[in-house]
Amino acid sequence: MRNRYLDRLYAKRAELEAKLELHDARYCFGDEEVDDGTDADLRQRIGEISEEIADLERVLNV
């Protein structure tokens, strides 16, 4: 049986990664308005969630 909290963390990380990809794409196409620190915030949050996932996987032996 899978852990529902872990599944929610996976989903949240995927959502944040998709937002980061969109943000990066907008920047690559010359939208300077996106250079507001959002990418750093997204990367930090993805890192935090990834650490939480790793800790939980270790505890659950996933």
Look up the domain containing 56 and give its range.
4-60
9-49 pLDDT, tens digit per residue, is 999 999 999 999 998 888 788 766 667 788 899 999 999 99
Assessment of whether the complete model's pTM goes beyond 0.85: no
What phi, psi does 17 have (nearest 5°)? -65, -40
Domain count, the chain: 1
- Predicted local confidence at residue 29, as pLDDT: 80
Dist CA 9 CA 12 (whole Å): 5
Dist CA 62 CA 55 (whole Å): 10
